[in-house]
Amino acid sequence: MNPYSTQLIEEDDKKAVLHALSSPHLTQGALIEEFETKLSEYLGIKYILVFNSATSALYATYKAIGLDANHHALTSPISFVATANMILECGSLPIFCDIKRDGNINENLIESLITPQTKAIVSVDYAGNSVEAQSIQSICKKYNLAFVSDSSHAFGGEYHQQKIGTLADATIFSLHAIKPITTAEGGILATNNSAIYEQAKLIRSHGVIKKKLWNTDVITSGFNFRMTDLQAALGISQLKKIQRFLNIREEIAQFYDKAFISNPYFFTLHQNLLHKTTNHLYPIILAPEFWCSKEELFKNLQQEGLGVQVHYKPIYEFSLYRQILGEIELPNARDFYRAEISIPCHQKMNLNTAKETVDKILRVFEKLKICKE
C-alpha cells in the first residue's frame, strides 16, 4: 500500500535516537530544551513547548486561555476529532462554523455565530493550507476572543510570507508519525504570549514549580504531557529536513495538478490554493455525479494499492456530538465530506511513483460505471 501520508526515517535519524538512548536523561533532559530552542528559531516564535501529542497541547492551550463551562469555542467541523474533543474536555462546547471550498473555516460566517459566551476561535489549517488568518485576527480583536490555530497539518506552511505559528495567539502542531515531520507521537505549542506559555507549561507537568533545594509547590492541577528526550532527538534530526520534505511534497502536488488538469471526474484542491501549503494531504474533490460511487471508487483505489483516506467526516455527525449538540447540518461541510478523497503525497514518493499513482487513479475512474442517485 502506498499510504496517503507517511514518515521518512533515515540513517541519521536512527543514529540520533540511539545516541540519546545513552544519555543520562531519557526524559526531562537537555534535548527537550535544544529541540524547543531550534523550533523557536525556525518558527520565529518566542515561546515553544513540546508535548507528547498535539491533542495534549490542544488541551493545555484551551485550559491556558481559560476555556471552561461558561464558554463556547467556534471551530471547524472538518478536522480530526481531537480539535473538538479537547474543547469538550474543558467542559466547554464547540460551535461549528461551515467551511469554504478549500476545507478551511469560512471567516465570513464567523461573526454571525459569536455570542457573549464565545471565548475563542479555533481554526484548522486543512491539509496544511493556512486559514485567512488576518480576517480571524481582526474578528478576535473586535470581540476580545482568543485565536487558537490547530495547525497540526501545517508545520512549515506560510501565510503571505509569514510562517504559520506567528499568526494566532497560540498555534498547535502535531508531530505524529504521518505529519510533516515526526517524533512518532508529539505536539508543539507555539506562542508569543507569556501567560499562555506559563500556564500550559504547568499543565504539561503536574502543576509543579521548583523552589529551594528539594522544595516544590503545586499551584494548579496538571498532567504528565511531556515528550521524551528520545523523541526530541528524533525531532531535532527531522527538523533539519523539513524544507526537503516540503519540496518533495510540493513537487508531487504540482505534478498531480498538471496530470489531473482536465479530467472529467474531480478537481484538485491544491491547484487553487492561495498560500504555501505543506501538502500534508493532497485532496481530490469528486464532481457531484460521482459522490454516490465513492464507496466503490474507494475500494477500487485500495485494490490498486493506494492507501487513500477521507478527511474528514464532519465532527457534528459523530454520535457523541449529536447527543450533545443535537442534529446539525452545514451544507459545505456535508458536501466536502461527500466529495473528498486524500491520495498519496509524501516524502517517500518521487515523480515515478507519482506517475504510477496518476495512471492507477485515472484507470479506476475510467472503469467506473456512474451510479444513479
Reduce the secondary structure of 311-324 to three states and give it as a string. CCCCHHHCHHHHHH
Beta-carbon neighbour count of residue 226 at 10 Å? Answer: 18
Rounded Cα–Cα distance for residues 227 and 83 (Å): 20
In the complex with ligand PLP, which residue's Cβ is closer, 83 or 104?
83
In the complex with ligand PLP, which residue's Cβ is closer, 146 or 188?
188
- Least separation in angstroms between residue 89's CB and ligand PLP is 13
Q: Cβ distance 168 to 154 under 8 Å?
A: no
Reduce the secondary structure of 238-270 to three states and give it as a string. HHCCHHHHHHHHHHHHHHHHHHCCCCCCEEECH
Cis peptide preceding 312, ω within 30 of 0: yes
- Least separation in angstroms between residue 179's CB and ligand PLP is 6
Q: Cβ distance 203 to 225 under 8 Å?
A: yes
Residue whose grid cell is 502543576: 207
- Least separation in angstroms between residue 79's CB and ligand PLP is 5
In the complex with ligand PLP, which residue's Cβ is closer, 55 or 171?
55
- Least separation in angstroms between residue 14's CB and ligand PLP is 22
- Least separation in angstroms between residue 220's CB and ligand PLP is 22
In the complex with ligand PLP, which residue's Cβ is closer, 98 or 150?
150
Closest CA to 247 of 269, 223, 279: 279
Which residue ranges make up the site for ligand PLP (CB under 6 A)?
Answer: 53-55, 79-80, 82-83, 124, 150, 152-153, 174, 176, 187
Q: Cβ distance 122 to 172 under 8 Å?
A: no
Any idea what the Cα angle at residue 120 is, between residues 135 and 99, rounded to 5°?
55
In the complex with ligand PLP, which residue's Cβ is closer, 129 or 174?
174
For residue 298, with 0-12 CB atoms within 10 Å meaning exposed, 13-18 middle and 19 or more buried, which class applies? middle
Q: Hey, what amino acid is at 206? A: H
- Least separation in angstroms between residue 321's CB and ligand PLP is 15
Q: What is the DSSP letter of 177?
A: T
In the complex with ligand PLP, which residue's Cβ is closer, 176 or 270?
176
In the complex with ligand PLP, which residue's Cβ is closer, 227 or 236?
227
Beta-carbon neighbour count of residue 139 at 10 Å? Answer: 17
Closest CA to 339 of 236, 267, 277, 257: 267
Between strands 118-124 and 72-75, the pairing is parallel
In the complex with ligand PLP, which residue's Cβ is closer, 188 or 364?
188
- Least separation in angstroms between residue 105's CB and ligand PLP is 12
- Least separation in angstroms between residue 141's CB and ligand PLP is 25
